[in-house]
Amino acid sequence: MKSTQVRQDSDTLAEIAVRGLQERKGQDIVVLNLKELKNAVADYFVICSASSDTQLDALARSVEEEVEKVTGQAPWQSEGRTNREWVLLDYVDVVVHVFLRDRRQFYALEELWGDAKITYVEDTADVARH
């Protein structure tokens, strides 16, 4: 039986995840490129803030739907849906973190991985205003 799943490179997968977050108006989206870091657990972390637990769930579902639609992949692992403060979607080479704003500040992943190349994604609301 032949699989319909298409293996995407981590660059493309990170872009697809960002698109999924933008679909549901994710806030303060950043992409941490971890490729050059020794002992990094993935190629990319994609991090986003949600304004409510409802939006947190919608953002996570949007990423899953977008990745599934384009690549046929489901997350290798998904955690945090029950506590509704931080959802982690692990696609092995790309790990997506969706936080409630105060949880994001508390865990400060951008600071933990401060040596990573960080790309700040412009909020879709800001793009629409320009």
**Shortest CA distance to 99 belongs to which of 66, 50, 65?**
50
Please tell me the pTM assigned to this model. Answer: 0.88
- Shortest CA distance to 20 belongs to which of 109, 76, 12? 12
Residues of the domain holding 83? 10-120
Choice between 9 and 7, residue whose per-residue pLDDT is larger: 9
Q: Is residue 22 in a domain? A: yes
What are the CA-CA distances from residue 112 to residues 19, 21, 32, 100, 103 (Å)?
25, 22, 11, 18, 14
Q: Is the pLDDT of residue 12 over 90?
A: yes
CATH number of the domain residue 114 falls in: 3.30.460.10
| Residue 129: inside a domain | no
Residue 126 located in a structural domain: no
39 — pLDDT class (breaks 50, 70, 90): confident
* Residues 57-112: tens digit of each pLDDT: 999 999 999 999 999 999 999 999 999 999 999 999 999 999 999 999 999 999 98
Does 3 map to a domain? no
Q: List the end-to-end C-alpha distance of the chain, in Å, as a whole number.
A: 49
Quote the number of domains for the chain: 1
